Amino acid sequence: MKLIFKSIVFLFLLVFSSGKMWSQSTTVVLKDNWSFSKEVKEDAFAVDFDASKWEKVSVPHDWAIYGPFDKKWDIQTGIIEQNGEKEATEKTGRTGALPHIGTGWYRNTFAIQEFKKGKKALLIFEGAMSEPQVYLNGKKVGQWGYGYSYFFIDISKDIIEGAKNTLAVKLTNEPFSSRWYPGAGLYRKVSIVVKEEESFAQWGTFITTPDIKANNAVVDIKAEFHGSNVSMVTQIKDANNKVIATQKSTETKEGKFHQIVEVAKPHLWSPETPYLYTAVTKLYAADGTLKDEQNIKFGIRFIKYEPKTGFSLNGKVTKFKGVCLHHDLGPLGAAVNKAALRRQLTILKDMGCNAIRSSHNMPSFEQLELADEMGFMFLAESFDEWAKPKVENGYNRFFKEYAEKDIVNLVRATRNHPCIVMWSSGNEVPDQWGAEGVKRAKWLQDIFHREDPTRPVTVGMDQVKATMESGFGALLDIPGLNYRVHLYEEAYKTFPQGFILGSETASTVSSRGIYKFPVVQKKNKQYPDFQSSSYDLEACSWSNVPDEDFVLQDDKPWVIGEFVWTGFDYLGEPTPYDEKWPSRSSYFGISDLAGLPKDRFYLYRSRWNKEDKTLHILPHWNWKGREGEITPVFVYTNYDSAELFINGKSMGVQKKNNATPQNRYRLMWNDVKYEPGTVKVVAFDSNGKIAAKNEVKTAGDPYKIVLNADRKTIKANGEDISFVTVSVVDKNGIPCPLADNELQFKVTGSATYRAACNGDATSLEVFHQDHMKLFSGKLVVLVKAIETAGTIQLEVTGQGLQKGKINLKSERQ
């Protein structure tokens, strides 16, 4: 299938794999037996180096997340051009105020009995932060630059057969190398794959369909391999593991097998129906010996981008209801954990989100596997910098040597995921200015097209006027606008594509459970407590509140969707307090760093989730000292009208209208005066009948600790986590929204205490200690399974409070 990317219309008919492969080859994940140190000499790669006193760790590992928080770690003085700054200022929490700067060494000793001379051995890194230098048995076998890239090293000639091998990895994080918390260490999986010489090439299989109809889909499989006189047999299995199609091939061209396999009555993949098939591909020698095998989960779906109507999935016009996500997982740092990722996506699914943008780097394999399985479209991003720097030691140092290699690895490793619907080659790059930037944009886009001619490419542009003048925006497959809502109309008329993507939107700031008075819409508003108001009316100089984007999404069919900044708070970049200490994480999240929803969550849910009722009241109703003062009440709901009652007295009926963007999407009673008691809201359907009710009550003194787990049964695999929300209620069971008690945590049985997080961007409490203060009445405790199944108990205590207990269990997989 040949696609011309200069055209305005894109029609992509594809079958995509999940990217996860099990093979006849041996795969050894190097999870345990690692030693780590930041206090070593350059000879730590030597085989006989004594690492007996190093810290024992498992990988994935983030050395910096254990703290302590301190502004000294990466004080940056400079101008953030993306924020419209004109003068240099000191930034104290921009990279999370965690000790990620410096050099760390990892060592592992392993033996792989399956390796014999004549076989191939590949050492695969899924993420190493950063600038990894890799040594095997005292010899340097490879290195890389970009800390977010996946890469592999052929160690076939260096691995010792039938004996122990010593792997040493040196990682270096330079100061002034990131705009957010990058993490540190081997933060994603490391593995070794042992193959026959005759085998499938690593990341060399690509599956598409040139045609999809109601009765059949044509599956096109191109598989690179090593060897000669081999054949390939493919079986397609449905979700019930039933074989529904088979084909054998002996002819090859340019080192690839090419098969066309028909699937009858295909189930199409979508966020609503994330149906996955499996392709079993087997490589045979001439004598019939099985040499290699891949089991590839995949989904069938087709996408289309057209002028005016925008994006469609499987023939249905679909808007991106997306969020941007940084790669850190709050109290776990950058160390990837599938349970934490699944919890994030579960929360986003409930909100009605249907798409994710990896910001501003390559996503983890685990995240893409979950997006395939749970039904999220994906914008996979590559870089935050090109040749021109944003920070002194950023990706600009590697761009010339590594950009093409990094894109090739990104695309080949992940192009078979059904969730990915577009690529991004950059975010707010300074190269948007001038002719050189146009050349770079085209060069990068051409690499994406060469490696994957089936998906379009975008760039998140913030210098929209400049890209209109230079031709930068016109050459992109998809013009992505970061904010700049006032330029959408002009950009639509100027750019030839016929549609606009909100590649980054809103950047509204708020702190969970914190409300400021008077309630007014403000830019760059700061307060003495370094928090932002959860009335959701505060943004940055360059950003806006959600409702302004909602208007564009709803009224302009040529706006194909949005990716909100951000789905969850993240470590670092504490705008608007990046010059204030102690602020060390963001305020942008729809949910906080602990994964607890802010009020804004329900604003998006009321618009995005069409299946469930939303009726949310803010603020809380504990305002001692504000008696008789104006205390506005907002309601976020998917119903058009509602009546508000304060202690049984009606405050009137409000109906959504077009007077302002806020009136269109929120119900607001701006003249309510505070009196303790009960706030009740009654929502009406389109016929004026009562459809839903909700209420908030004034709480008394904190009395009892309450625990609620996202999952009570976890896997006994040493990795699974139960996230337990801890809150405090009064004697009547009413949540206490102002509680800030310090609590202690104790885990017994078949699990360990891993961390806690309260979502407070100003807290300097270390995540892994067994105590923490509540923030706005809540925090989250992470209980991590060990490899022994059994019962688990979490006990939470606090002075003067009735303790909380919850029983969990872990089971064998």
- Give catalytic residues, as residue numbers: 428, 504
Q: How far is CA 640 from the centre of its chain?
A: 32
| Token output for 447 | 């690499």
Phi and psi at 53, nearest 5°, equal -95, 5
> Do 186 and 128 meet the contact criterion of CB atoms below 8 Å apart?
yes
Is there a contact between 30 and 109 (Cβ–Cβ < 8 Å)?
no
Contact 227, 250 (CB under 8 A): no
Angle between helix 338-351 and helix 599-608 axes, rounded to 10 deg = 60
Can the peptide bond before residue 576 be classed as cis, meaning omega within 30 degrees of 0? Answer: yes
Distance from C-alpha of 185 to C-alpha of 335, rounded to nearest angstrom: 8
CA distances from 187 to 128, 182, 263, 560, 592 (A): 6, 10, 39, 34, 22
Asked if the bond preceding 130 is cis, omega within 30° of 0, the reply is yes
Tokens of 548: 């302004």
DSSP letter for each residue of 677-703: SEEEEEEE-TTS-EEEEEEEE---S--
Q: Distance between CA 519 and CA 10 in Å, rounded?
A: 45
CA nearest neighbour of 318 among 332, 306, 326, 327: 306
* Token output for 694: 């909700």
Output the CA angle 78-81-83, nearest 5 degrees.
Answer: 105
Residue 513's DSSP bridge partners are none
Q: How far is CA 619 from the centre of its chain?
A: 29
8: closest CA among 561, 447, 475, 441? 475
At position 679, the amino acid (one-letter code) is: V
Instruction: Please provide the size of the chain in residues.
Output: 813
Residues 6+ apart with CB under 8 A from 488: 481, 500, 552, 556, 559
Distance (Å, rounded) from C-alpha 792 to C-alpha 782?
13
Measured CA to CA, the distance from residue 442 to residue 189 in angstroms comes to 33
Q: How many CB atoms lie within 10 A of CB 707?
A: 18
| Distance (Å, whole) CA 329 – CA 326 | 8
Strand partners, 798: 743
Of 704, 707, 703, 687, give the one whose Cα is nearest residue 806.
707
| Strand 500-506 versus strand 522-523 pairing type | unpaired
Amino acid 762 reads: T
Quick check: helix, strand or coil at residue 268? strand
List the beta strands (DSSP E) in 231-327.
Answer: 231-237, 243-249, 252-253, 256-264, 277-284, 290-306, 310-313, 316-317, 320-325
